[in-house]
Amino acid sequence: MTVPGMPSRLVTAYIGLGSNLGDRSRNLQGAVERLSSIGNVTAMSSMFETKPWGVDGYQPRYLNQAVAVETTLDPLEVVTELLSIEYSLGRAREEKNASRTLDLDLLLHGDSVVEASGVTVPHPRLHERAFVLVPLVQIAPELVHPVLKRTMAELAESSDRSGISGMA
């Protein structure tokens, strides 16, 4: 958290982006453009097409991407901004795991470990999700998970990467 009167520490936040409704590519591009409300985008993965994860029944395939943002915002402030960006780009939260125009997840925030106010960092299922790990490895393969003490490359190597294809 920021202490009034004290300079904020610059950290790199890693954000996972996903979309499986509408113009998926444009949805992700629009989100990246709006990430300036959080800080300076310093790295961006390619877009990967992925099968839906953890859902029953049919859903369209997702486009997923990972982005690194240098920020002085704390994790709760970042999540608040991500929710605002989702809403501004038409995200409706009707039911859990439903198809969506946009999904933005705070994956990591520097080496922070946070579980408060509905915010959990690192993302609690980061290490299980190849659709997040594969793009993240493209921009930060040596980044170490602050709890599991394994690099993103190591986590991706042991994940099920079936159903993921690269996009141009």
Just list the catalytic residues: 91, 100, 103, 105
Q: Cα torsion at 24, 30, 32, 38 (round to 10°)?
A: -130
φ, ψ dihedrals at 85, nearest 5°:
-65, -45
φ, ψ dihedrals at 27, nearest 5°:
-60, -45
In the structure encoding, which two tokens stand for residue 97, read together? 């795991």
Q: How far apart are CA 54 and CA 110, in angstroms?
A: 27
